[in-house]
Amino acid sequence: MQNKKAVFVCCGTGCLANGSGEIYNAFQKQIKKLGLDVEVIPKIKKTGCHGLCQKGPLVHITPQEITYIHVKATDVAEIVERSIIKDEVIDRLLYFDKQQKAKIQSKEDWTFEKKQYRIALRNCGKIANDSIDDYLEKDGYKALEKVLKTMTGQEVIAEIKESGLRGRGGGGFPTGIKWSLAAKAIGDTKYVICNGDEGDPGAFMDRSILEGDPHTVLEGMAICAYAIGAKRAFLYIRDEYGLAVKNMRQAIATAKERGFLGENILGTDFTFDAEVVRGGGAFVCGEETSLLHSIEGSTGEPSPKPPYPADKGLWGQPTIINNVETWANVPVIINKGADWFASIGSEKSKGTKVFALVGKINNTGLVEVPMGITLREIIFEIGGGIPQKRKFKAVQTGGPSGGCIPEDKLDLSVDFDSLIAEGSMMGSGGMIVIDDRTCMVEFARYYLQFLSEESCGKCVPCREGIKSMLAILDDICEGKGKPGDIELLAEIGAMVQANSLCGLGKTAPNPVLSNIKNFRDEFEAHINEKRCPAGVCKNLTKFYIDAQTCIGCGACLKSCPVEAISGEKKKAHILDEAKCITCGNCRDFCRVDAICVR
């Protein structure tokens, strides 16, 4: 087995969009064409996400451990010829690691990977996403077997409780306690649900797990079903996630064929079945009560808690809803033990968390790190810092309802409680990095705009509060802000947080409130000086060229769509404010930062 060569082509949605499907086909064709000796016939695998999506399509070759980035179909013949047959490394396709200042042969040695610790993503990119055999090879369904044959439901729950696992969907509720509530609850039928309605802009960890390692989610759910006495499961997957739905449906079918789902699983009297439900296309359906109503066929709107779903959930029966990532942790905890899991992470947040690192960051992608790591390590070591040597300004954690954390808090340890204390939250793990060319007022306005469209509109504080706050922020960004607006935003925001019916409303004001707290000067500049310091809000921005810095290269002049810039070569250029439409093109093209904001 060990000598067998294998080519791993990433077929996650990100790499597929960059043509990895074609690459996969080209590898198959090329190997068939050459009729390579059986011993070296590579096993080509369609895998899930490897993590570093920005450098995709990614191809990894074992046992040589070579990782190629930005692979094109036209590279395939050369890769087969040189790397698979002759074991050579093609230098041009390797990843250049800026921190190590060298090209690195294997992804295992990338700085991007070094601080990562993969539990939930352990199999993503390492097994074929359509093969149950690959999953079984990686200890797949061993945890289920262990549970069914050697543990009682109570013992399973105790193990999960001891591990300290908390819900990865955002709330951070202790998973073991939730399960014990459902186990105790009285109901004819109990249900287990996977929340795969990942709606945060920029978050894609749930999608990657569903696409790349669907069986681990099923196994986690089966273990819970056994522990609480449920027989049926639903996987509520966001409608836009076509590949995740397809791979999950296939996984359910093969798991049934092999006897890991269905009646009398593994020869015991445990019966369990699962099906996929496609999401209704609303952000609010990620909220658990809305999700339940959506599965029931009603409008996706939340209902008051209590009663909690563990008590009265789907069709009024005790129901456990956990996020995709939570489920992916369960089989590993059972296999390796609660003590092992509890030894990873921080005091109150155990294990790891997957983050989708996006925005103004060099290494865009999925990273899984132990809880308690600092933001600085994630952004500047794993993420490789900010592109174009720009200055870091803030990082937004937790999706559209998360707050922005400024530079002086970069050494904050990342866990559920410390993020909440900073006015943000873990959320599902979105992490959007912001540089100095982002206006914090506009940023908050953008997310309120998103939430105003995605609020279900059922309760008044959320619907009308967001609407009013958005109207005020629109005014501020257009230069119509009035004295007292900041206080009014804070007042409405605090009321919306306290009075809203569900989690969406309770967290919706976070971006506004955290930005007022940390970047109040930007709000004041907009309102009092009618000036956008970041140079983003068009009505409030005036550019000029700093004559001392300008080298007269002409890049700005060429980029200007309205011929507002003039000047001779190698002499400082001049910008005509009357003609300028403040599109900001010149600023992006200038290499010496000579375009300044008044």
Residues that bind another protein (CB under 8 A): 282, 284, 299, 303-304, 306, 451-461, 463-468, 471-472, 482, 484-485, 488, 491-492, 494-495, 498-501
Q: How far is the CB of 398 from another protein (least distance, A)?
A: 20
Q: How far apart (Å, rounded) are the C-alpha atoms in residues 351 and 329?
A: 9
433 class by beta-carbon count within 10 Å (0-12 exposed, 13-18 middle, 19+ buried): buried
Q: Between 67 and 290, name the residue whose CB sits nearer to another protein.
A: 290
Burial 34-55 (b: 16+ CB within 10 A, else e): eebeeeebbebbbbbbbbbbbb
Distance CA 463, CA 500 (A): 9
Which of these, 495, 468, 385, lies nearest to 433 by C-alpha position? 385
Residue 447 CB, nearest distance to another protein (Å)?
14
Shortest CB 406 distance to another protein, Å:
27
**What SS3 class is residue 276?**
strand
| Nearest distance from C-beta of residue 452 to another protein, angstroms | 5
Give 208 or 455: the residue with its C-beta nearer to another protein: 455
Cβ nearer to another protein, comparing 179 with 450: 450
Which residue's CB is nearer to another protein, number 495 or number 581? Answer: 495
Q: How far is the CB of 112 from another protein (least distance, A)?
A: 38
Q: Which residue bears the tokens 């920005």? A: 54
Shortest Cβ distance from residue 291 to another protein (Å)?
15
| Residue among 202 and 457 whose Cβ is closer to another protein | 457
Cis peptide before 307 (omega within 30 of 0): yes
For another protein, the closer of residues 19 and 457 by Cβ is 457
**Tokens describing residue 357:** 């690192």
CB of 200 or CB of 219, closer to another protein: 200
Which residues lie below 8 Å from residue 515, measured CB to CB, with a gap of 6+?
A: 403, 404, 440, 441, 443, 444, 522, 523
Nearer to another protein, 478 or 491 (CB): 491
Burial 498-521 (b: 16+ CB within 10 A, else e): eebbbbbbbbbbbbbbbbbebbee
| Smallest distance from another protein to CB 492, Å | 6
Minimal distance, residue 504 CB to another protein, in Å = 10
3-state helix, strand, coil in the chain (%, to 5): 45, 15, 40
Which residue is associated with the tokens 């082509």? 9
CB of 201 to another protein, least distance (A): 16
- Give the total residue count for the chain: 598
- Toward another protein, which CB reaches closer, 271 or 528? 528
Nearest to 452 by CA among 401, 488, 487, 393: 401
Smaller CB distance to another protein: residue 460 or 592?
460
Q: What is the DSSP string of 511-561?
A: HHHHHHHH-HHHHHHHHHS---TTS-SGGG--EEE-TTT----SHHHHH-T
Residue closer to another protein, measured from CB, 466 or 594: 466
Dmax over CA atoms of the chain, in Å, equals 85
For residue 347, give the 3-state DSSP assignment.
Answer: coil
Phi and psi angles of residue 102, each rounded to the nearest 5 degrees, phi first:
-160, 160
CB of 430 to another protein, least distance (A): 20
Q: What tokens were used for 159?
A: 């193990």
Q: How far is the CB of 488 from another protein (least distance, A)?
A: 6
Q: Are 415 and 392 in contact (CB under 8 A)?
A: no
Q: Which is nearer to another protein, 415 or 485 (CB)?
A: 485
CB of 126 to another protein, least distance (A): 40
Angle (CA) 388-389-391 rounded to 5° is 120
Burial of residue 133 (number of CB atoms within 10 Å: 0-12, 13-18, 19+): exposed
